[in-house]
A and B are shown apart, each in its own frame.
Chain A
Amino acid sequence: MSIPHSHAAALPASWRDFFALTKPRVMTLVIFTGLCGLLAAPVRINPVVGFVAILCIAVGAGGAAALNQWWEADIDAGMKRTRNRPLPSGRMERESARDFGVMLSAASVMVMGLGVSWLCAAILAGSIFYYSVVYTVWLKPRTPQNIVIGGGAGAFPPLIGWVAATGHVSLMPVLLFTIIFMWTPPHFWALALFVKTDYAKVGIPMMPVVAGERSTRRQMLVYSILLLPITLLPWWVGDTGALYGISAALLSGAFLIFAIRVWLRERQGEEDRMVPEKQMFAFSVFYLFALFGALVADRWLVMPGVLH
């Protein structure tokens, strides 16, 4: 893990580099799912407290992303997709990224504890530790199951949002956690299938590299099959209405069709453009936004009786 210091930071890193270190695009999804957890909860939260909760979730995710990039600077330098990030491109010194990540993580947990609740702060601290240490340092370089277990880190935001509103952990936030947990492997492996050569080059044991594409496609299908009933559980247990239930059935059914398409095919040589895999990845992002959007719409429109 060494970026030559002579190359690094001939000029100081700009604020844009620090902002890029927080992975703003990933943060968008984190903010959205956290906000959905908060808005879907059956308890109305003070808007200021709600804002603080979402802000802390976002800042905590940004801190964890900075720590991830600090640790993986050499790996990022070897991949086309990540080589222009602030550290591998030499625009920022590694210590700056580490200190920035620690500061954001600590600040987000402290403010969450003081402004929202210490239960939320503890879950947030756990999620930052999970992503920065359990996933980034421990699992990602060691096992092809890294995404499965590491995906838990991305599943925390709706759980934290819900707990911020209600003050306790119950079945519903655990179900929201489980939905994102089960969604992550097919989502990420779809990406790993068409950037396989990059991961192989830097020695990251992604499933397509270690177990092969056939096995990866089969496992994507298994997770997609499991995802369908799990997304319907909130409706079955009566915590959501029909708007969510029907949306979940349609979206998860479509997700399963994409997974079947990916499962049924094989790479046609090096010139294969991997269109179904790219389509599945794109749909998986839309899927999560739409599913959680339906959850909130259901809570605000159907459950209070605005829609029948």
Chain B
Amino acid sequence: MTDKPEPFDPAEERRRIIAGRNKALGLTLLACVVLFFAITMVKMNL
């Protein structure tokens, strides 16, 4: 018993890629927030 391969849907693929990019960008921005907070604490000697 073998499953039929899913037909390639460009619209679905585009949606999946953009969702992945958005997640990566979101995580990068979050990391930047944490990084700037840490730098500020160090510079203020807190």
A49 with B42: CB separation less than 8 A: yes
Contact for B21 among A10, A14, A49, CB less than 8 A: A14
Known A11-B10, A11-B13, A12-B14: A48·B21 in contact at CB below 8 Å = no
Chain B: interface residue count, which band?
Answer: 10 to 19
Contact for A114 among B14, B20, B21, B39, CB less than 8 A: B39
**Distance between A175 CB and nearest chain B CB, rounded to angstroms:** 29
**Distance between A93 CB and nearest chain B CB, rounded to angstroms:** 14
Residues of A within 8 A of B33 (CB): none
Contact for B42 among A12, A13, A46, A55, CB less than 8 A: A46
B 4-25 to A, binary, CB cutoff 8 A, 1 in contact else 0: 0000001001100110110111
Interchain CA distance A115-B38 in the complex, whole Å? 9
Chain A: interface residue count, which band?
Answer: 10 to 19
Contact for A15 among B20, B39, B41, B43, CB less than 8 A: B20
Residues of A within 8 A of B38 (CB): 48, 52
Interchain CA distance A225-B25 in the complex, whole Å? 47
**What is the interface of chain B mostly: helix, strand, loop, or mixed?**
helix
**What is the interface of chain A mostly: helix, strand, loop, or mixed?**
helix
B39 with A12: CB separation less than 8 A: no
B20 with A48: CB separation less than 8 A: no
Residues of A within 8 A of B43 (CB): 115
Q: List 14 A-B contacts (CB under 8 A).
A: A10-B10, A11-B10, A11-B17, A12-B17, A12-B18, A13-B17, A15-B21, A15-B23, A49-B39, A49-B42, A52-B39, A55-B35, A115-B42, A115-B43
A48 with B24: CB separation less than 8 A: no
From residue 55 to 79 of chain A, which have CB atoms closer than 8 A to chain B? 55
**Distance between B34 CB and nearest chain A CB, rounded to angstroms:** 11
Residues of B within 8 A of A114 (CB): 39
**Distance between B39 CB and nearest chain A CB, rounded to angstroms:** 4
Contact for B35 among A12, A13, A18, A52, CB less than 8 A: A52
A115 with B39: CB separation less than 8 A: yes
A 92-124 to B, binary, CB cutoff 8 A, 1 in contact else 0: 000000000000000000010011000000000
**Distance between A13 CB and nearest chain B CB, rounded to angstroms:** 8
Interchain CA distance A165-B18 in the complex, whole Å? 40
A11 with B39: CB separation less than 8 A: no
Residue of A nearest to B41 (CB): A48
Interchain CA distance A220-B14 in the complex, whole Å? 48
- List the 5 closest A-B pairs by CB distance, nearest first: A15-B24, A115-B39, A48-B42, A14-B17, A48-B38
Interchain CA distance A302-B2 in the complex, whole Å? 62
Interchain CA distance A10-B8 in the complex, whole Å? 14
